[in-house]
C-alpha cells in the first residue's frame, strides 16, 4: 500500500514562503488552505486564492511536488443567504422557524439544486489542480434542519445529503472530481448508501491531544473513525496536533508556543497508517510569519518531520 500523503492545513493568513521551506526540509507533500469565515468569508477567499501573489505561491508548492487543496466551510455560500427573503423554505428550520444562519433544508429540492450549481461555480472559481474537494457544511454543531420532512434525518445524514449535492455539482465541472464527507462535531454518517465519489475526512476536534489516539481517553474518536470508514473507500485524517487556533481558543491574543506533541504525532501517524488512510493532516492555524518571528521554526520543523516520516 502506498504511503499516505502528509501535511498541514493553514489559514490563508498563515500561507507564506516560510512554510514552503518547512515543507522542503521536513518532506511534507500535502497542503490544505482554509479560512475562518468570521475572519474572511468564502467570496473574499476566492478573490484571495485568485490573486497573482497567491496563485504564484501555490504554484511554487505544486512545483515542489506538494498537493494543494482548499478546505472550506462554505454551505452558507453554496446556498446564498440572499435567497432567504424570497425562498425561506430552502433554509433550515429551527424551533418551528426558518432561519438563514447555517446550512439549509435537505428536503428542499430547490436548495439542493442551488448547492449543486454553486458547488460547480466554486470549483470553477477556485481553479484547484487536485480533483479532491473539501466543501464542508457550516462550522456549527447541531445547526441542521428540524422541519417536518427533515426531523427524522440525523445531523450526520443531513451532512451526507450536502456532500452528495456538492459532488453532483463539482462533477459537472470535472467528471473525475470527488468530494469529502466531513465527520466532525455531531456529524457522522449512519446507514447511508456508499457513494464512490465521496471520501471520508475525519476531524476529531474533541480528542485528547496529550494522549495518543490509541489511548483509552480517545477510544470514542477511534471507534467513530473505524465506524465511519465502513461507508467510504478512502480516508483523510484531519487532526489538531499543530492547531494553534485550538490551543489559543480561537483568540489571537492568547497565542503562545505550541505544546510539544512530537511523541503523540509519531504514535498517531503510525496508527493511522495501519488503517490504510490516504492522507494524514493536521490543522496548523495561526502558525504564521508572526509565530515564526516569535518562536522560531525549529520546533515546527521537528513536528513536521514527525508527521512526514
Ligand atoms: Zn428541512
Q: What is the pLDDT of residues 228-265, one digit of tens each?
A: 999 999 999 999 999 999 999 999 999 999 999 999 99
What pLDDT is recorded for position 245? 97
pTM above 0.85, yes or no: yes
What's the CA-to-centroid distance between 91 and ligand 1, angstroms?
7
What pLDDT is recorded for position 253? 96
What pLDDT is recorded for position 123? 98
Task: Please check whether residue 124 is in contact with residue 104, taking contact to mean a CB–CB distance below 8 angstroms.
Answer: no
What's the CA-to-centroid distance between 274 and ligand 1, angstroms?
39
SS3 137: coil
Q: Residue 1 — very low, low, confident or very high, per pLDDT cuts 50/70/90? A: confident
CATH number of the domain within which 109 lies: 3.20.20.80
What's the CA-to-centroid distance between 154 and ligand 1, angstroms?
11
Q: Residue 271 — very low, low, confident or very high, per pLDDT cuts 50/70/90? A: very high
| 92 bridge partner residues | 99
What pLDDT is recorded for position 192? 98
- Residue whose cell numbers read 457550516: 138
Domain count, the chain: 1
SS3 179: strand
> 131-173, pLDDT tens digit by residue?
999 999 999 999 999 999 999 999 999 999 999 999 999 999 9
- The domain of 229 spans 5-308
> 189-241, pLDDT tens digit by residue?
999 999 999 999 999 999 999 999 999 999 999 999 999 999 999 999 999 99
Task: Please check whether residue 37 is in contact with residue 139, taking contact to mean a CB–CB distance below 8 angstroms.
Answer: yes
Question: Near ion ligand 1, which residues have CB within 5 Å?
Answer: 105, 107, 145, 147, 150
Residue 111, burial from CB neighbour count under 10 angstroms (0-12, 13-18, 19+): buried
What's the CA-to-centroid distance between 146 and ligand 1, angstroms?
6
Task: Please check whether residue 199 is in contact with residue 181, taking contact to mean a CB–CB distance below 8 angstroms.
Answer: yes
What's the CA-to-centroid distance between 104 and ligand 1, angstroms?
7
What's the CA-to-centroid distance between 81 and ligand 1, angstroms?
16
Rounded CA-CA distance 189/160 in Å is: 7
Amino acid at each position: 500500500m502506498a504511503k499516505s500523503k502528509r501535511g498541514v492545513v493553514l489559514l490563508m493568513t498563515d500561507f507564506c514562503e516560510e512554510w514552503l521551506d518547512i515543507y522542503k526540509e521536513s518532506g511534507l507533500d500535502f497542503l490544505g488552505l482554509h479560512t475562518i469565515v468570521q475572519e474572511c468569508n468564502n467570496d473574499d477567499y476566492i478573490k484571495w486564492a485568485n490573486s497573482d501573489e497567491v496563485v504564484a505561491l501555490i504554484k511554487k508548492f505544486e512545483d515542489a511536488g506538494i498537493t494543494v487543496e482548499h478546505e472550506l466551510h462554505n454551505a452558507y455560500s453554496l446556498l446564498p443567504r440572499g435567497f432567504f427573503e424570497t425562498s425561506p423554505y430552502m433554509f433550515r428550520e429551527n424551533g418551528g422557524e426558518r432561519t438563514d444562519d447555517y446550512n439549509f433544508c435537505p428536503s428542499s429540492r430547490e436548495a439542493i439544486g442551488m448547492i449543486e450549481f454553486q458547488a460547480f461555480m466554486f470549483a470553477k472559481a477556485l481553479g484547484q489542480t487536485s480533483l479532491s474537494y473539501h466543501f464542508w457544511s457550516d462550522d456549527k454543531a447541531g445547526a441542521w434542519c428540524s422541519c417536518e420532512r427533515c426531523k427524522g434525518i440525523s445531523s450526520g445524514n443531513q451532512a451526507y445529503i450536502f456532500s452528495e449535492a456538492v459532488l453532483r455539482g463539482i462533477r459537472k465541472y470535472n467528471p473525475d472530481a470527488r468530494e469529502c464527507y466531513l465527520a466532525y462535531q455531531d456529524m457522522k454518517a449512519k446507514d447511508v448508501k456508499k457513494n464512490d465519489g465521496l471520501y471520508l475526512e475525519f476531524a476529531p476536534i474533541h480528542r485528547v491531544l496529550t494522549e495518543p489516539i490509541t489511548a483509552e481517553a480517545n477510544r470514542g474518536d477511534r471507534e467513530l473513525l473505524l465506524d465511519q470508514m465502513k461507508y467510504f473507500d478512502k480516508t483523510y485524517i484531519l487532526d489538531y496536533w499543530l492547531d494553534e487556533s485550538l490551543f489559543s481558543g480561537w483568540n489571537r491574543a492568547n497565542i503562545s508556543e505550541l505544546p510539544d506533541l512530537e511523541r503523540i504525532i509519531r504514535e498517531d501517524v503510525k496508527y493511522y497508517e495501519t488503517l490504510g488512510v490516504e492522507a494524514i493532516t493536521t490543522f496548523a492555524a495561526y502558525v504564521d510569519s508572526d509565530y515564526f518571528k516569535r518562536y522560531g521554526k525549529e520546533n515546527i520543523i521537528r513536528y513536521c518531520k514527525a508527521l512526514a516520516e
